[in-house]
A and B are shown apart, each in its own frame.
Chain A
Amino acid sequence: MENFSASSLESVTCPACGLLCDDIYLARNAVGQLKMIDNGCTKSMTFFERTTQTASPLIDGKPSSLVDAIKKAAAILRNANQPLIAGLGTEVQGMRSILSLADKVGASLDHMNANSSFRNTLVLQNSGWQVTTLTEVRNRVDLLLIIGTDIVSHNPRFFERNVWNTASMFDQDTSAREIVYLGGQAVETTAGISPAGKKPTVMPCDLSCLPEVIATLRAIISGKTLHITEVAGIKTSDLQNLAERLKSAKYSVVTWVSSDLNFKHAELTIQNIAELVIKLNEKTRSSGLPLGGADGDYSVNQVSTWTSGYPIRNRFSRQYPEYDPYHFSTEKLLNDGEADALLWISEFNPEKTPPKTNLPNIVIGHGNMSVIDANVFIPVSTAGIEHTGTMFRIDSSVSLPIGKLRESTLPSLTEVIAAIEAAL
């Protein structure tokens, strides 16, 4: 295989989480293998250093040509009345092509992380929020309230890049920044210790109790009188103290990771977070900051929204887009027999395999994906390593190009989707 020469690669953008750090330093050997030199984290190392096996398309488990696999995939979609395109682990350009195909075949669309994303989206659609972005945090935050997460399991370099940075625009002593962890048990809080050794405030409670704890905090901030002294093992006086700290902070940031708020109707808790932030803004400045992000979830939502008017869980079977956060979930469509073919997409991560189904199914995925029972498997190259693309950061305003770091014999997702659309 033709390849770029061995080299070191600076300022590479990493699509492995919602932060899109663009300072990654990699080495590439003569066969295109990448090795982290600097500015890596566990997620970026897994992503960039993965050894790719050159995979062949498969039809019913047997190697086939790409042309035949595309023909077969097109036939499955042509014969379906209610195809479901799910997984959707991709970036902006991939999603552009998927939306075109979905419009043509009348598909439903769902992302593998939608259950988690909806905890945020439903708040946005119901009452809205007041939020900020990473560079604002890096230069302004004086009190960071972290709710129900350690952040670093999802965004390993969050503190390094946005909290414990030494230089800041307004000459803040960043080591004096206050960190509060609220909720969760045995949360890993070492990332919240300042470089000078200042420890964060930690207020643990079971995650399942966060709804009442956050409601209490909001009530205190809103000036309500409470008749309890304790909620979920946290003293109300401690919450009162936290409320006072938030009120006296100049630019507090309240953050959460929706996938960690894994309890029923977590959107109502996020709504309470959003509303307490809005209340704080009557007098001082405060902002929410939803973190996390994986497998292109936010990028896919953005493209879906500008193209169809709706974020994910939309469908095109009636010749116009419809949206339903509940009825169009992969689980429900498959379990209730409302889909009659499945196209599963995961170009970043070989481990994100499709749910079990007896329906005719196509998988377009990372070359290392092990898919034994797919009717059609088409391995594709990876955006950010083997072809260029575009991704959105989790804070929504910033999008970055992701690069091509080596050659691949595999086609890109966009090429495959366009070929399927042409073969319909």
Chain B
Amino acid sequence: MLIKLSGGRVYDPAHQIDGKVLDIYIRDGRIVSRPRDDETIDQTYNLSGKVVMAGAIDMHTHIGGGKVNIARMMLPEDHRADPSHHSALCRSGCGHAAPSTFTTGYRYAEMGYTAAFEPALSPVNARQSHLEMGDTPIIDKGGYAMIGSDDFFLRMLAAKKDQNAINDYVAWIMHASQAIGIKVVNPGGINAFKFNQRALDLDEQNVHYQVTPREVLKALSRAVHELGVPHPLHVHGNNLGVPGNMETTLKTMGASEGYPLHLTHIQFHSYGTEGDRKFSSGAAAIAEALNKNKNISADVGQILFNQTVTASGDNMRQFANSTLGSPRKSVIMDIECDSGCGVVPFKYKDQNFVNALQWAIGLEIFLLTDDPWRIFLTTDHPNGAPFTSYPHLIKLLMDRTFRNEMFAKLNLDAQAMSTLASIDREYSLYDIAIMTRAGAAKLVGLHDRGHLGVGAGADITVYTDNADREKMFAKPDYVFKDGELVVKDGHVVKVTWGHTHTVKPDFDKAIEKDIKQYFDKYHTMNMENFKVSNDEIAEGGRGGIAVQACEGRREKSL
């Protein structure tokens, strides 16, 4: 089957193509070079005047795993307002803040997204994450294994184990949990909460291991780098949501001592303490630091006004915030001496001073950060807002008039504390294609996604250009997944199963002897059962593992 996408205006930043009219050819799910004249083209789509991009990639979205399912279970009232009907093609389900898995897959695809990454896959809960992602159709997926508060790792740090041993452990975790990245959440803090510590600053010691978050960050960022894992250490910093936490965030940027770091939902970590209410925007300083430190990238975690639910591994901070929830209920968990979780429903209101300023801070960070290759479009779904609000967020970035109209409706005290109205920048289609395609693929390490070059997986989204960017991005004309037309005019026309992207860094398998002894002595499950097999992920024909290339283990440390 040879398909020609004819005459579309192509935005492919991986190849510096900015709105050039080009033909694209697809064969057997891949983009191919222009065929010979005597080859028959089976199907041609006339895309004259249309905007063509690679399928979008959400590099941080909570779509599968224990805390997401707790959020679903807790919120029947939210689901009732957004039922999703059974059709000849699609399974029924529900949407809004914590959508069901099938609905998640359909709605991402209907928005032109073809991949989404679960950023907090707790290794002991990895099987559940993959089960849920396995029931999420069409899109590709993957997960970042969350470590840094696990007892095994903190023991290694406390015992001053050599970096090579830490690298081996990190690699073993990635294999066992079928991950494509490593994430750390409130470095060491989830663990410290179990010892009744209520806050952990960057240089504060865990009372049991006498290890600081800075040491955790350094060891893990170095491990990820030395293993050749393309995605830098994914960091949810200490002190999420705490006024004044911008200082922690600025210090965190230096904590890896030059190793790459990705600071996630940085909006929640960019707060100052100025003003009458001791809560202010740290966006300018954070953006300046991002502009300066080329080894740092970030995604924003924009908040948008409405009901949502916050779901995080950071049980220390979620416990502290649980009384602010709306509706007032929460689930806080300690998990297996490995991790934790906290789920708190939340309603962001534009007339609430703090919420309004959070909204402005997120946009300020987007607009003050110069390099779209190092800043990413997320709402930290569902923590800032559900992923279905991305088209609205894109409009806020691309349309200054619209943005200023929205800003003018905010709580007046918050307006007075923000510089947003004075920022003229508007994102271009090329910038959006970087943030949501080329940059995201590069950051996650998806070598054959996020671009339209020969050999890429044919994940392609076609839009009708529309000055109303929200309308444009909400309803693509066509979405192709691995060369198959899956969405037409914003509706699913075919249901396929995407790949689960992983990396498999090399490591010294001797580490497993120590890990097995540890499991036998302390755990309530066998080490072998901790590992998620390839077969489990492919169960029931729901797609399989795609192993992305690692850059090869770098020279071992001394």
Give chain A's interface residues, CB within 8 Å of chain B: 11, 13, 20, 22-23, 92-93, 96, 100, 103-104, 121, 124-136, 138-140, 161-162, 167-170, 250-251, 281, 284-285, 287, 301-303, 305-311, 316, 319-323, 390, 392, 396-401
Q: Tell me if B523 is interfacial: C-beta within 8 Å of chain A.
A: yes
A124-B74, A131-B331, A397-B125 are contacts. A308–B94 as well, Cβ < 8 Å? yes
Which residues of A have CB within 8 Å of B102?
A: 307
Q: Tell me if B73 is interfacial: C-beta within 8 Å of chain A.
A: yes
Which residues of A have CB within 8 Å of B539?
A: 93
Which residues of B have CB within 8 Å of A133?
A: 333-336
The size class of the interface chain B forms with chain A is 35 or more
Q: Which chain B residue has the least Cβ–Cβ distance from A166?
A: B521
Whether B73 and A121, one on each chain, are in contact in the complex, defined by CB atoms closer than 8 angstroms, is yes
Contact with A along B53-77 (1 / 0, CB 8 A): 0000000000010101110111110
7 nearest A-B pairs in the assembled complex, by CB-CB distance: A309-B94, A320-B83, A128-B329, A309-B79, A135-B336, A130-B332, A134-B524
- Of A11, A169, A250, A320, the residue contacting B196 (CB under 8 A) is A250
A323 to B92, CA, bound (A): 13
Q: Tell me if B91 is interfacial: C-beta within 8 Å of chain A.
A: yes
Q: Which chain A residue has the least Cβ–Cβ distance from B535?
A: A388
Whether A305 and B131, one on each chain, are in contact in the complex, defined by CB atoms closer than 8 angstroms, is no
- Not counting A309-B72, A323-B76, a sample of 8 additional A-B residue pairs whose C-beta atoms are within 8 angstroms of each other reads A20-B525, A96-B135, A130-B319, A133-B336, A136-B335, A169-B522, A320-B85, A397-B336
Whether B73 and A305, one on each chain, are in contact in the complex, defined by CB atoms closer than 8 angstroms, is yes
Q: Tell me if B267 is interfacial: C-beta within 8 Å of chain A.
A: no
- Give the number of residue pairs across the A-B interface with Cβ within 8 Å: 194
Which residues of A have CB within 8 Å of B208?
A: 170
Shortest C-beta distance, B458 to chain A (Å), equals 28
Q: List CB contacts (< 8 Å) of B96-154 with chain A.
A: 98-103, 122, 124-125, 127-128, 131-132, 135, 151
- Of B75, B101, B122, B336, the residue contacting A136 (CB under 8 A) is B336
Q: Tell me if B337 is interfacial: C-beta within 8 Å of chain A.
A: yes
Count chain B CB atoms within 10 A of each CB in A130, A303, A307, A309 and give the residue with the most: A309
Whether A319 and B72, one on each chain, are in contact in the complex, defined by CB atoms closer than 8 angstroms, is no
Which residues of B have CB within 8 Å of A170?
A: 208
Count chain A CB atoms within 10 A of each CB in B66, B76, B98, B122 and give the residue with the most: B76
- Of A130, A140, A320, A396, the residue contacting B84 (CB under 8 A) is A320
Whether A100 and B522, one on each chain, are in contact in the complex, defined by CB atoms closer than 8 angstroms, is no
Which residues of B have CB within 8 Å of A308?
A: 92-94, 100
Q: Tell me if B328 is interfacial: C-beta within 8 Å of chain A.
A: yes
Q: Tell me if B431 is interfacial: C-beta within 8 Å of chain A.
A: no
A135-B524, A308-B93 are contacts. A128–B330 as well, Cβ < 8 Å? yes
Whether A132 and B529, one on each chain, are in contact in the complex, defined by CB atoms closer than 8 angstroms, is no
A43 to B540, CA, bound (A): 30
A170 to B154, CA, bound (A): 12
A162 to B337, CA, bound (A): 13
A168 to B208, CA, bound (A): 14
Q: Which chain B residue has the least Cβ–Cβ distance from A20?
A: B525
Q: Tell me if B194 is interfacial: C-beta within 8 Å of chain A.
A: yes
Q: Which chain A residue has the least Cβ–Cβ distance from B134?
A: A96
Q: Which chain A residue has the least Cβ–Cβ distance from B90?
A: A103
Whether B94 and A321, one on each chain, are in contact in the complex, defined by CB atoms closer than 8 angstroms, is yes
Which residues of B have CB within 8 Å of A13?
A: 529
Which residues of B have CB within 8 Å of A169?
A: 151, 337, 522
Which residues of B have CB within 8 Å of A130?
A: 319, 330-333
A20 to B526, CA, bound (A): 11
Q: Tell me if B528 is interfacial: C-beta within 8 Å of chain A.
A: yes
